[in-house]
């Protein structure tokens, strides 16, 4: 049991804590949103205005996570810290190899179109501010699912080894808060604004120091230097899924025959 516990890294624990509270928030907002549709009860915005401290707490939590990304830390994923000079460890290779920039552009357009669809519906009055806040919360849960379980950007676009080598790791908050563009307010736009600054700083560092983002030139991105051990976690999940699949396949065959 002790040996298994050591397999769980500090970074992994932090991921699961984020997944837990973000999921709880999302379920709560979903219940309020559905209650407003079915029973005509108060909206999400009404609850935030009525209990201003709740919005303040959420703002501090998300803003704190973003501000922390501007500084190196040992309790966050190496994937969001490769831009720092402190984390650049030369491999001896000089050929810079990073994810295909065509895939990056494709992700940008796909995300703009996806959010533009909901934004257009919001602008014509089909969707309200509550839905955009709920969508934002769904994205925040999806962000953790991408890290811990399955990432469509990794599997379908970049084909990168893991989150540590992810080309767009620090885009997550900007993508998460995109729906807030359609919900004007100090809290909402300040979150989106800082998220965009985080993305811009990331891209500037990528342009100035691409060698820090390449597994071929930066040993910090190697498996030996990883403090997250996320790949081991995902392998265990895939193994469990495969065992369950084999079990149910065998049961179906027995029932048929």
Beta-bridge partner residues of 90: 218
Beta-bridge partner residues of 148: none
pTM for the full predicted model: 0.85
pLDDT at 235: 65
3-state secondary structure 223-254: CCCCCCCHHHHHHHHHHHHHHHHHHHHHHHHH
Please enumerate, as own/partner, the contacts of 112-117 that have beta carbons within 8 Å and a separation of 24 or more: 115/178, 115/179
Residue with tokens 């709920």, as numbered in its chain: 134
Tokens of 70: 């501007």
pLDDT tens digits in sequence order for the chain, 257 residues long: 444 445 677 888 888 999 999 999 999 999 888 888 887 766 787 777 777 788 889 999 999 999 999 998 877 888 899 999 999 999 988 898 887 778 899 999 999 999 999 999 999 999 999 999 999 999 999 999 998 888 888 888 888 878 888 899 999 999 999 999 999 999 999 999 999 999 999 999 999 999 999 989 999 988 776 777 676 666 666 666 666 666 667 767 777 76
CA distance 124 to 126: 6
φ/ψ (deg, to 5) at 26 = -65, -45
Residue 191 · residue 176 · CB < 8 Å: no
């Amino acid at each position: 049991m002790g040996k298994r516990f050591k397999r769980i890294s500090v970074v992994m624990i932090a991921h699961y804590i984020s997944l837990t509270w973000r999921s709880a928030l999302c379920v709560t907002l979903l219940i309020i949103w559905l209650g407003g549709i079915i029973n005509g009860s108060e909206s999400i915005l009404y609850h935030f205005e009525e209990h201003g401290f709740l919005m303040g707490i959420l703002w501090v939590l998300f803003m704190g996570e973003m501000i922390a990304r501007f500084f190196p830390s040992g309790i966050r994923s190496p994937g969001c810290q490769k831009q720092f000079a402190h984390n650049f460890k030369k491999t001896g290779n000089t050929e810079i190899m990073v994810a295909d920039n065509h895939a990056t552009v494709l992700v940008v357009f796909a995300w703009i179109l996806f959010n533009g669809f909901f934004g257009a519906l919001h602008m014509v009055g089909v969707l309200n501010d509550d839905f955009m806040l709920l969508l934002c919360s769904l994205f925040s849960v999806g962000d953790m699912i991408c890290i811990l379980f399955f990432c469509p950007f990794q599997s379908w676009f970049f084909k990168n080894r893991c989150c540590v080598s992810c080309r767009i790791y620090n885009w997550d908050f900007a993508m998460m808060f995109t729906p807030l563009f359609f919900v004007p307010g100090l809290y909402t736009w300040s979150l989106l604004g800082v998220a965009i600054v985080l993305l811009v700083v990331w891209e500037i560092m990528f342009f100035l120091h691409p060698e820090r983002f390449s597994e071929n030139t930066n040993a910090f991105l190697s498996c030996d230097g990883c403090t997250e051990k996320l790949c081991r976690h995902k392998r265990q999940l895939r193994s469990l899924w495969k065992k369950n699949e084999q079990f149910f396949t065998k049961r179906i065959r027995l029932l048929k025959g």
